[in-house]
Structure 1
Amino acid sequence: MSLLTSKLSDEDRKKAHELFGVPEQFDEVADLMVHEEEWQVILLMGKEPMTEKELRKLMEKNRLAASPYVLINRMYSRNVLNKVTDADEPTWKISDFYSRYSYYAQFEYYEFGCLPRELIEALYDWQTEIYQSIYLPQVKAKVAGEGVYVHNQTYLTLEEFDKIIDGHHGSIHLVPCNCKSQKYFHDRKLNVCVNMNDGPNSAVDRGMGEPISPEDMKKKVREFNASGLMQNGEDGFICNCDGLCCFPMQMAYKAGSRLIYPESNWKIDWHEDECVNCGKCTKICNFGAFYKDDNRKVHYDVDKCWGCTICAPNCPKHAIHLLPREQKA
């Protein structure tokens, strides 16, 4: 039995959930993700931007915080509030359930993991559906030959990754992968994504992420690469993806976009005569392109290869080479 008494009526709670975009099937878990005083703030603000000066006055008037500054910044760090970047003075706007859920899984991972398995899986499926409704049309347009940009657009070799890191002159942070955090039931590494964006509303600006030097990040990514994670992205944010959890890969499977999205700049050139059948490539390949037969002999199926390139640097005998892929005009 809780010692706390709720000050939020059922009607107000329902209205706050509507403002925050909470799907009806997730009403109960939404109240774990968002604290009661945060729901009160959402009700006071509504959908419109509000200056920090106005917001502080409302918080004080309604006795929502002894320090409005602390509450505002806590709500920002938890992705319940967003900064309005084009205002003349500090201004805030409410976030939404879709965005808050991702942060809950990434940065409040233990509590998220205490949810029932069926709820965790339902949330992941819901997020996947919303994500694909936004980005899948762009991937399909890319497959059709249109020159559209889609995030996580290109697989990177370790050398290409190093070049991006060397050319970046701002902060670098290691953050948990939101896809892997939300999928939850797997044994993949979690704290693997490379965040080079510290602007307003970024995870770094919200106080999240582990600062890391360029050289240490390069070492980390080599560990991720050797464990079977694929480097994928561009300056600003680079993912270390896998074939099970990651939203971009699930979308690519659905679109049938092999070699187009994510784009691959390299072909795998396997020298079978140099292969010693150790099977390292078969263990880290996310697509089953390298596999062993019943006699433990390694084979390579080019039609299953997505060109992620992680097999090449991890072959102990250097039997896997990379050749530049011809680009479309």
Structure 2
Amino acid sequence: MPLVDDFSKLFDAPGFIKPYLHFFATKQEMRLAATLGKESLTARELAGLLAQPEEEIESCLEQAYLRHIIDKDSENDTIRYRAGNFYSRLRNFCLFGNYHIIPPRIRKKLDEWDFAEYLKRNDYFKAVHDASPEYDQCHNEWILLVSEVEAMIDAATAIRVLPCDCKMLAENCDHSREICLVLDKNRVTDRTGGRELTKDEAKKLIRELDQEGLMHTGGPPNWQETGPAVVCNCCACCCYPFRAAIQLGTKGKWPRSRYVAVYDKEKCLQCGLCAKRCYFAAFHFAGMDGNEMKQMAFDPKLCWGCGICVSTCPSQAIRLVKISGGEMA
């Protein structure tokens, strides 16, 4: 079997990506993975199988590890390597590789494939849909306000900003890409990537992204006891959690919405900024008055409580109120 076929099968790559696998992995990396197969081996064992110097193999393995082609474990001071998978490599490549060398029609298929895999791998969403949310498992647990994110930043043990893999894969809008914040030093590994921010830089970024019209999500719900973990800044057209929530019908349960907008029609200037920003059509133009512009309308049932309408309203015609029972620990 040709090397690329062997690697593609082992790597769980979708069939349509086979002609483009050379963008994701070098021949040497494919050979390493194919030789490992389903086994977990040390660099010395793999070097023996390939009849190459151990130092050379170890260097190649470490590079492949950083590129999410090879995974590794350490037990009793012994490092063992195993083949990775395409799902992990795709996310690394879209964030830090030359991803746009892949043709647009193939990138579109990759987004569709990856979103389907995301739903399969996060099958605990079904528990959220069918019963009470299992927030000890779910990510992007809460829809957050800017003030809440700033409090998380103040409590962070590390601050690292990364590009958003959802946006890099979906490419459905022109919003900023470097928008995901890791706030827990224990979540930063040698494969995390990104860049470090000061607390002031992180707060400035959050305010800018809010003005840009991105929603804020994160957790865990008991972060004041355990410390904050991750904050994402989301749209509804690219970001997988919102796409999943819309598809699965988990509005109000996951990501948990704890607020709802209240609209004062008397203060409204009919500028339409809120309608342009609202991802869920809670604010929208409705009806015509002769030849005059449409009138602004608001449907609270469609509101997710993200607050990006409030921050853009020039007349303060919108405010947020907390939903009964929607407390944050």
TM-score by length of 1: 0.86
In structure 2, which of residues 62, 82, 94 is the aligned counterpart of residue 73 of structure 1?
62
Equivalent residue runs for 1:234-313 within 5 Å? 234=219, 235-293=228-286, 294=288, 295-313=293-311
Q: What is the rounded CA distance, in whole Å, between the counterparts of 2:174 and 2:34 in structure 1?
A: 40
Task: Name 1:325's counterpart in structure 2.
Answer: 323
In structure 2, which of residues 199, 204, 208 is the aligned counterpart of residue 223 of structure 1?
208
Task: Name 1:50's counterpart in structure 2.
Answer: 41
Equivalent residue runs for 1:90-239 within 5 Å? 90-108=79-97, 111-135=98-122, 137-149=123-135, 150-169=138-157, 171-197=158-184, 199=186, 204-206=189-191, 208-234=193-219, 235-239=228-232
Q: Do the aligned residues in 2 keep the contact of 1:59 with 1:68 (CA within 8 Å)?
A: no
Mark the runs of 5 or more structure 1 residues left unpaired by the alignment. 1-9
Q: Do the aligned residues in 1 keep the contact of 2:285 with 2:295 (CA within 8 Å)?
A: yes
Q: What is the rounded CA distance, in whole Å, between the counterparts of 1:284 and 1:165 in structure 2?
A: 25
Q: What is the rounded CA distance, in whole Å, between the counterparts of 2:218 and 2:239 in structure 1?
A: 13
Amino acid at match of 1:289: A
Identity of aligned residues (%): 26
CA RMSD in angstroms, aligned pairs only? 2.4
Q: Do the aligned residues in 2 keep the contact of 1:281 with 1:315 (CA within 8 Å)?
A: yes
Q: What is the rounded CA distance, in whole Å, between the counterparts of 2:268 and 2:152 in structure 1?
A: 32
Q: What are the Cα deviations for residues 101-141 of structure 1, in whole angstroms up to 9, with x where unaligned?
A: 11111111xx3213222211111111111111232x42232
Task: Name 1:35's counterpart in structure 2.
Answer: 26
Q: SS where residue 216 of structure 2 aligns?
A: strand
Q: What are the Cα deviations for residues 41-65 of structure 1, in whole angstroms up to 9, with x where unaligned?
A: 102222232234545x4498336x9
Task: Name 2:222's counterpart in structure 1.
Answer: none
Q: SS where residue 319 of structure 2 aligns?
A: strand
Q: SS where residue 126 of structure 2 aligns?
A: helix
Compared CA separation, residues 96 and 232, structure 1 to 2 (3 A):
same
Task: Name 2:223's counterpart in structure 1.
Answer: none
Q: SS where residue 101 of structure 1 aligns?
A: helix
Amino acid at match of 1:216: E
Q: What are the Cα deviations for residues 196-234 of structure 1, in whole angstroms up to 9, with x where unaligned?
A: 35558x5x5226101111111111111111111110112
Amino acid at match of 1:24: G
Q: What are the Cα deviations for residues 140-190 of structure 1, in whole angstroms up to 9, with x where unaligned?
A: 321322341321121000111111111112x21111100100113531211
Q: What is the rounded CA distance, in whole Å, between the counterparts of 1:86 and 1:166 in structure 2?
A: 36
Aligned length: 312
Q: SS where residue 128 of structure 2 aligns?
A: helix
Q: What is the rounded CA distance, in whole Å, between the counterparts of 1:311 and 1:220 in structure 2?
A: 18
Mark the runs of 5 or more structure 2 residues left unpaired by the alignment. 220-227
Amino acid at match of 1:226: Q
Q: What is the rounded CA distance, in whole Å, between the counterparts of 1:113 and 1:244 in structure 2?
A: 19
Per-residue deviation, 1:68:
3.9
Q: Do the aligned residues in 2 keep the contact of 1:153 with 1:261 (CA within 8 Å)?
A: yes
Compared CA separation, residues 247 and 147, structure 1 to 2 (3 A):
closer
Compared CA separation, residues 271 and 287, structure 1 to 2 (3 A):
same
Q: Do the aligned residues in 2 keep the contact of 1:166 with 1:214 (CA within 8 Å)?
A: yes
Amino acid at match of 1:148: E
Q: What is the rounded CA distance, in whole Å, between the counterparts of 2:56 and 2:296 in structure 1?
A: 64
